[in-house]
């Protein structure tokens, strides 16, 4: 993987969940349980129906929250507080990843479909606090989630970044399509590759990938 492909990059954009920690730590499993419980209580449906609706909302709108807001006019604040009230002790610090991120030239930002206060807790648990110039959650995009193009436009305008000089790291293949179209370098971070025209690189080891970029 030639580092010169990233020599123009001045802003490094990182997703959070299953990107800045590996899926095997299973943090998001806790959130999924919380989301299902919330849907059950809010919509007065059983668990099977709640799981079905979550899958439908995720596929149709990008996130469960987006579907709940669109179809049920749900207030996002209480929902985000509840589903992110979880145990972060399953996350372990990653000094190698911290060193690799710190060594990147230019700005480093987080852009997640979760909320910023939750992102700060994840970063603290991973030993990555203080390494990023900005943290953007779904609230900063008017609660419009990735992969919605308007969500990217809102966050990128707020940050003032030039996509043609940016790189995006994501575990969800869908969320790399718009960055690619905007001219960003795209890196799929996941255990297994998912070949697509809008993915430039894949890695199952983000720390090692970044370390190769900075030599």
- In the prediction, which pLDDT does 62 show? 86
Considering the domain architecture, whether residues 125 and 198 belong to the same structural domain is answered as yes
Rounded CA-CA distance 127/121 in Å is 10
Q: Kindly report the CATH number assigned to the domain that includes residue 37.
A: 1.10.150.450
- In the prediction, which pLDDT does 2 show? 59
Q: Kindly report the CATH number assigned to the domain that includes residue 118.
A: 3.40.50.1000
8 closest CA partner among 213, 175, 215: 213
Considering the domain architecture, whether residues 101 and 57 belong to the same structural domain is answered as no
Considering the domain architecture, whether residues 79 and 179 belong to the same structural domain is answered as no
Rounded CA-CA distance 199/182 in Å is 13
- In the prediction, which pLDDT does 214 show? 86
Rounded CA-CA distance 12/143 in Å is 22
* Residues lower than pLDDT 70 in the chain: 1-2
Helix (H) / strand (E) element for 12: namely strand 11-14
- In the prediction, which pLDDT does 92 show? 97
179 closest CA partner among 195, 198, 196, 161: 198
Please give the residue range of the domain that contains residue 135: 3-21+91-214
Considering the domain architecture, whether residues 131 and 200 belong to the same structural domain is answered as yes
Instruction: Please count the other Cβ atoms lying within 10 Å of the Cβ belonging to residue 16.
Output: 25
User: Residue 166 forms beta bridges with which residues?
Assistant: 11
- In the prediction, which pLDDT does 158 show? 97
In which residue are the tokens 């987080």 written?
A: 110
């Amino acid at each position: 993987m030639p580092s010169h492909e990233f020599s123009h990059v001045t802003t490094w954009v990182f997703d959070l969940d299953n990107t800045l920690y590996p899926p095997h730590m299973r943090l998001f499993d806790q959130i999924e349980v919380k989301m299902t419980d919330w849907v059950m209580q809010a919509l007065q449906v059983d668990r099977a129906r709640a799981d079905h609706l979550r899958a439908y909302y995720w596929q149709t709108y990008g996130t469960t929250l987006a579907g709940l807001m669109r179809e049920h006019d749900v207030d996002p604040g209480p929902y985000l507080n509840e589903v992110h009230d979880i145990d972060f002790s399953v996350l372990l610090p990653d000094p190698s990843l911290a060193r690799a991120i710190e060594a990147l030239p230019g700005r480093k930002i987080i852009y997640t479909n979760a909320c910023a206060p939750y992102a700060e807790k994840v970063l603290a648990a991973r030993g990555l606090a203080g390494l990023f110039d900005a943290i953007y959650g779904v609230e900063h995009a008017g609660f419009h989630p990735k992969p919605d193009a308007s969500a990217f436009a809102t966050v990128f305008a707020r940050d003032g970044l030039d996509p043609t000089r940016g790189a995006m790291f994501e575990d969800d293949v869908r969320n790399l399509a718009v960055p690619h179209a905007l001219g960003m370098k795209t890196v799929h971070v996941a255990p297994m590759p998912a070949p697509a025209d809008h993915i430039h690189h894949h890695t199952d080891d983000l720390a090692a990938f970044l370390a190769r970029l900075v030599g």
